[in-house]
Chains A and B, each alone.
Chain A
C-alpha cells in the first residue's frame, strides 16, 4: 500500500436524542470506526441508509464535532484550531446536486467561493482564470459561467460541485453518494471524471455509496458499514469475490446485476426484517438479529475487526 494520507482512529459520533422531558440518550451514528486511506487511493464505504456512512464522512471533515477518536491527515492531527487550514486539503462532494448549490449564485461565484474564503487569488483576473480552468477540468462550457445552477441538468450540477471541491487543490475528497441522484446514462460520465481526476491530480477519495457495483468499479478497497460499525474491509475484488461477513454476503447477493442470465442463475440470500433503529441496537454484534448464523456468543459480545489474511478484515464470531 502506498503512503498513508488519512488515518481514522476509533472515530465516534453520537447525537443526543431526547426521549423524555429532559432525558437524552446517545444515538450512536458512528461507533468506533478505524481505517486508513493511502495517497491517491480510493476507499469505498458502502452500507444501507441509516448505517452512518454519511455521518462518518462528515465527521472526518469535522462538519460535526466528533464525540471521540481522531483523524490524522498527512501526519497532522485535525483539531478545531487547524481545521480552517486543513479544509484547503480536504474537500467534499455532496449527494444532491440540487440542494448542494446555492440557487442565488452564479456558477462563477459557486466555484469561486473557496478561492474567496481562503484568499487564494490575488486579483479578479487571476480568480476568473482559475475558475475557467476549473470549469474546463470538469468539462463545463466556459460560456456558462454567468448562469445560475438551476439552469443545469443534474450531471452538470454535479460537475459544478466537483469544480468547487477542486478549487483549493485538495489532496483528499469525501464523495458522499455523488452519483446516486443522477440518471443512469449520466452516472458513467461522473464516475469516469472522478477516475480521470485521480489519475491527473492524484487525489484520494472516500467514496460513499449504496450502489455496490459503482463502488466496486471506482474503489481500490471497500469498507462495509452496518449500524455505525465497519463489519468488513478488504480489497474491492477480494470483497466481491470472497465476502466473509454474512451481511456483506447477503448485500452482494441482493444487488441486481444488469445481465438476465447471470442475475437469474445466482442464488439470492434474502435478509429477514429491517435494519434495527440505531436507538435500539441489539446487544453484541449489531447484525445478529438478521443473521443466519447467529449464536449465543454474538448476543453477548461485539466482535472486532480481525485480519483474515491479505488485509481482509472482518468483524464476525462465526465466520
Chain B
C-alpha cells in the first residue's frame, strides 16, 4: 500500500477502500448487460394462471379426481356389469327367487349351485334389492340420472339466465327496471310447491311416447326441468346482470365505444369474455343444487318414474328395510353426499382460482 498518502487527500477514501477497484469496474455497461438485469416475467394467460391456482388447491384436485372417477364408472360400468338396472335376476333362464336382499358380494343359493357346476357369475358388488335386482348397477344408473339431471338443469338455467341477464344489464334503464321486477315476482314464488303442483298437472296432461328417454324418466322429472327452466334461472340472471353492470363501468367499454364498436360487438368481445369466469363458477355450483333438489323430490316420491332409479328414489326405497339392510340406504346416500360435496368444493376452487374480484 505505497499509495496510501494520496488517499488522504480525498475524504471519500476514508469511507471506502478504493484500492479494490480497477479501471475496468468503472467501464460503462452495455445496453445488452443492462437489459439482462431487467427481464419481464413469464407470459401467462388468465386461463393458465387460473388453472395453476386451481391445481394448487388440494380440495379442488381431490374433487376433480373423484368426479372423473365417478364419470368413468357411470360410463363404463354398464358395459362391464352384465346386469341391467330393471332386470330381475335369473339363472339360466329361471327366475332366481332367492336373490332377494343379498348382502354385498354374496350369491343366492341358485347362483352358488350354478357356480359349483362350473358357471361364472358376476359378483353383486352392492348386493341386491328386494325385487332381486343387482343393486350396484341400480346405484350406477341412479348416479347417471342424477348427474344428467344436474347438468341439464344447470344448462337450462345458464341459457335462460344468461340471455335474460345480459339483455337486462346491457340495455339498462327502463327495460332493466321492468325485467328485474319480473325476476322479483318469480323469486317470491315457493319453488317446492310449484314443482309439486306442476308435476301433478303435467302428469295428467303430458303423455310421452313410451320407450323414449323422457317417458322412462317420467313426467315428474320433465316437470322438474320445466320448473328449473321457469324458476331457477332468476338467480343466474341477477348474477349476470350485476356482473355486466359492473363491467360496463370499466373504461375499456368506453374505449370500445369511442373506437366506434357496435353494441353487439361490445357484448360479444368485451362483456361476455369478462364475465365468463363468474358464469362457469355459478354453473358449477348450480349442478349440485339441482342434484339435491332431484334427490329430495325422488325421496318424497315425486321424482323419476320406476323402474328408472335415481339416487333419491333408491334411498327412499331403502327406508323400508332400514333395520335389516342398512347398506341399501348407505350406498345412495353416501353417493349423493360425495357428489354434491365434491361439486361444491370444485365450484369453490374455481371461484378462488378464476374470480377476478379475489385477485390481489
Contact = CB atoms under 8 A, between A and B. Distances in A.
Contacts of A87: 258-260
Interface residues of B, number: 25
A295 to B, nearest CB: 42
A103 B356 contact: yes
Contacts of A146: 43
Given A103-B46, A104-B46, A161 B259 contact: no
B251 A114 contact: no
Contacts of B269: 102, 105, 113
Contacts of B258: 61, 63, 87, 91-92
A113 B43 CA distance: 22
A94 B43 contact: no
Given A63-B254, A94-B254, A103 B274 contact: yes
A17 to B, nearest CB: 15
Nearest to B41: A151
Nearest to A97: B251
A101 B252 contact: yes
Interface in A151-176: 151, 161, 164, 168
A164 B273 CA distance: 20
B39 interface: no
A151 B43 contact: yes
Interface string A61-101: 10100000000000000000001100110011011100111
Contacts of B252: 99-102
A103 B274 CA distance: 8
B25 interface: no
Nearest to A156: B40
Interface in B233-272: 250-252, 254-262, 265, 269-270
Nearest to A91: B258
B45 interface: yes
Given A103-B356, A104-B46, A104-B273, A164 B41 contact: no
Nearest to A161: B255
Contact of B45 (A91, A99, A148): A148
Interface string A131-155: 0000000000000101110110000
A118 interface: yes
A117 B261 contact: yes
A113 B259 contact: yes
Nearest to A87: B260
A114 B43 contact: no
A114 B254 contact: no
A241 to B, nearest CB: 35
A268 to B, nearest CB: 34
A118 B260 contact: yes
A103 B46 CA distance: 8
Given A84-B260, A104-B274, A117-B260, A92 B43 contact: no
A113 B259 CA distance: 8
Contacts of B40: 144, 151
B353 to A, nearest CB: 15
Given A147-B43, A148-B46, A99 B251 contact: yes
A99 B260 contact: no
B176 to A, nearest CB: 15
B259 A102 contact: no
Contact of B259 (A96, A117, A148): A117
A105 B259 CA distance: 16
Given A94-B251, A100-B251, A164 B45 contact: no
Given A148-B46, A151-B43, A95 B260 contact: no
Contacts of A95: 251
A148 B41 CA distance: 12
A26 to B, nearest CB: 17
Contacts of A161: 255
B95 to A, nearest CB: 62
B46 A94 contact: no
B248 to A, nearest CB: 12
B350 to A, nearest CB: 17
Contacts of B356: 103
B27 to A, nearest CB: 26
Contacts of A99: 250-252
Contacts of A144: 40
Contact of A113 (B45, B254, B261): B261
B313 to A, nearest CB: 44
Nearest to B256: A113
Nearest to B251: A100
A103 B45 CA distance: 10
A61 B273 CA distance: 26
Contacts of B260: 83-84, 87-88, 114, 117-118
Given A88-B260, A102-B274, A151-B43, 8 more contacts: A83-B260, A94-B255, A103-B46, A117-B260, A144-B40, A146-B43, A151-B41, A161-B255
Q: Which 7 A-B pairs have the closest CB atoms?
A: A87-B260, A100-B251, A104-B273, A92-B258, A102-B252, A114-B259, A99-B251
23 contacts: A58-B254, A83-B260, A87-B258, A88-B260, A91-B259, A92-B255, A94-B255, A100-B255, A101-B252, A102-B270, A102-B274, A105-B269, A113-B256, A114-B259, A117-B260, A117-B261, A117-B262, A148-B45, A150-B46, A151-B43, A151-B44, A161-B255, A168-B259
